[in-house]
Amino acid sequence: MQISSEEAIRYNRQLILPEIGTQGQIKLKQARVLIAGVGGLGSVSAYYMAAAGIGSIRIADRDCVEAGNLNRQILHGTGDIGRPKTLSALEKLQNLNPDCNIEPIREIISDETILDMVADCTVILDGTDNLKTRKVLNRASILKGIPFIYGGVEGFTGMVTTFIPGRTPCLECLFSRDNGHNEPIGIIGPVPGVIASIQSLEAIKLILGIGGLLTNNLLVFNGMDMTFRKIEMEKNPDCPICGSNADSGLFTPKDLPASKKALK
């Protein structure tokens, strides 16, 4: 795989970075990223993934655009209200970068659909808005050995971390319980922009194999006082998803990778 003359012009500001160069750009071109949800977080991360030259971007979302989305979901506009988010996002991303292969999936992210969604993916980017769906992504991440970059926002605050199966705690270690609150929460638009930008940078570094990642640390952002702080995370040895006696909760033992079978 090579970089065309048109791509060399498009990605010039990346190619001149010694950490990227031509070989790094080829790695980005070879990558496939799943963006789960194209709302406040997913809109921003999808945009930056396409802009960076990720070769294939799989966007999964079942919802249609609503007027109440538009304060933060930057891939969608007033004319998109009522349209599927995947279709709206597809058009914007293709216009941004026609060389990027956009794969829209208008389905609910569930135990029944997730394996097809993550197939052949390099990394999973979380753009969802509830813990139940995030736990589906987490189980698939562990089962398939795919890094999972979590992001969450509420009000003026947000948090982000990178889970790498076998090397870090998983989402279940961090959030073992679901408080069951499903009411809409307040969000100011720039906060998901900040968090999703960090998620995007983590994904790019992970694909390139450069820099330090937010592994074993939860980065918490407070937009009211403009502070960032890191909270160290520890693996739960009794975690039902990634612990020594883990059961994925999704699949039978024959479906588990060899590393998981060895732990049983």
| Tens-place pLDDT, residues 3-58 | 999 999 999 999 999 999 999 999 999 999 999 999 999 999 999 999 999 999 99
- Is 39 in contact with 15 (CB distance < 8 Å)? no
The values of phi and psi at residue 106, to 5°, are -95, 80
Tell me the CA distances in angstroms from 239 to 23, 144, 168, 172, 192, one per residue in order.
38, 17, 12, 7, 29
Q: pTM higher than 0.85, yes or no?
A: yes
The CATH classification number of 31-235 equals 3.40.50.720
Low-confidence ranges of the chain (pLDDT < 70): 178-182, 247-264
Copy the structure tokens of residue 225. 């006082």
Domain boundaries, the chain: 31-235
The values of phi and psi at residue 9, to 5°, are -75, -45
- H-type alpha helices, the chain: 5-10, 12-15, 21-30, 40-52, 85-96, 114-118, 131-144, 171-174, 190-208, 258-263
**What dihedral do alpha carbons 56, 68, 188, 53 form, nearest 10°?**
10
Cα separation, 145 vs 161, whole angstroms: 16
The values of phi and psi at residue 32, to 5°, are -125, 125
Please give the share of the chain, as a percent, with pLDDT higher than 90: 88
Strand partners, 148: 124, 163
- Is 76 in contact with 57 (CB distance < 8 Å)? no
So what's the pLDDT on residue 245?
A: 76
Cα separation, 206 vs 147, whole angstroms: 9
Tell me the CA distances in angstroms from 222 to 155, 175, 194, one per residue in order.
9, 20, 10
